[in-house]
Structure 1
């Protein structure tokens, strides 16, 4: 059974590939160090690239990766690079993993957009960081995440987020206030001029093939969106 799912590939200045790891690879901070190291080793073997994780904190900081040997889990919620054979990982278990690519220039980025990151604009911040480098991210992938029918939140929290990202306002299937993080990310990408957006239509809470904090609580592991380039 493959460990990388929903794979995609774009050929430009470099070949850019994306995929999403499955539930069998335990990549969360709560995983034992040796378990996580083994999972990262398998990702490296499958992609032919050096994996780089983030210490994700639900913020909007963006970090450039130049030397993967020195990139020991920087504290941020977005990574970007122009280096080939480096696989950037954004982990999630209901949050939205977002992958960005500039096919002409070979720049790639991986973004973790949870509720706070959506409100703080981590996805637009990553697009801006890439453009400051002269890159033009024109393709984005939105990975599996909790859908707007399942992500119940208190009404005041819904209002707080919707005041910044109106498109994220939603209602659960049982009629209570909710947020649609994916819709919010899509709106932010559209506003940033990223038109080619490829969505993996999976709700992590509804599909037990994917980790979900909402469904499984602290027992939930983490999967990752992965993006890398090569010649």
Structure 2
């Protein structure tokens, strides 16, 4: 299948691949511009970046669906009834029951996750979803709830793609915070190179996906996916007030 990986600092994409015929998953890089309206950038500049991204995706202008993300445990289900208003749902996971809506999740250290059920030709629903999983989201089960919503809609064979986020060696936290999350998800416990407490959110997300029977596909050929280490990615920890990159799933 057609693939574009590790495209370099001038590409809008950190990783971009046709994961199945007619279905693409991608994660943007700094070169795509800031895609978030809530970090203090000029709103017109953000909207222009979004339009350029939609053009690069080959989809209609203003068709990309975003969320109003607040580290909640809410999952929004998109459908025909909400297409007219285009108001971003107040949620941290978003499901397209048929996979027909192009979806985006915004992050700058948190874990962006794309989910997709098998296509109807392969006995699936074709449903897709995106999830925003920071420390709070991992703790409140947003990943589990998104998978559960897909299952309730008939999804059987779900595949996940985990995008760039701060890694377990870089996400330093107080000891008590690490211990609290590790009580529920032991693989979340980590250490920095200096030996201080840290959280490995990607490992925690992988654990939650595995518990839900979800297969994770690797971003083959991608550059370093640690947002704090890779300056081609936005990182709020490295640069407070940084822009946001996007995890994307769409049908061209």
Establish whether residue 18 from structure 1 lines up as the match of residue 35 from structure 2: no
- Which digits, 9 at most, give the CA deviation of each residue in 1:32-60, with x for residues without a partner? 22122112212221223321111110111
Runs of 4+ in 1 over 6 A off after TM superposition: none
Q: What secondary structure, in the 3-state scheme, does the structure 1 residue paired with 2:11 have?
A: coil
CA-CA distance at 1:83 after TM superposition: 4.5
Q: What secondary structure, in the 3-state scheme, does the structure 2 residue paired with 1:109 have?
A: strand
Establish whether residue 213 from structure 1 lines up as the match of residue 236 from structure 2: yes
CA-CA distance at 1:11 after TM superposition: 2.8
Say whether the 8 Å CA contact 2:97–2:153 is kept in structure 1.
no
TM-score, normalized by length of structure 2? Answer: 0.85
Establish whether residue 43 from structure 1 lines up as the match of residue 37 from structure 2: no
CA-CA distance at 1:135 after TM superposition: 1.6
2:113 to 98, 101, 108: 98
Establish whether residue 176 from structure 1 lines up as the match of residue 200 from structure 2: no
CA distance in 2 between partners of 1:82 and 1:10 (Å): 18
Establish whether residue 229 from structure 1 lines up as the match of residue 239 from structure 2: no
Say whether the 8 Å CA contact 2:35–2:244 is kept in structure 1.
yes
The answer for unaligned runs of 5 or more in structure 2 is 1-9, 120-124
CA RMSD across the alignment: 1.7
The answer for unaligned runs of 5 or more in structure 1 is none
Say whether the 8 Å CA contact 2:206–2:216 is kept in structure 1.
no
**Greater displacement, 105-114 / 195-204:** 195-204
CA distance in 1 between partners of 2:216 and 2:172 (Å): 29
CA distance in 1 between partners of 2:103 and 2:157 (Å): 15
Aligned pairs, how many? Answer: 227
Greater share of residues in strand? 1
CA distance in 2 between partners of 1:107 and 1:92 (Å): 22
**Greater displacement, 40-49 / 175-184:** 40-49
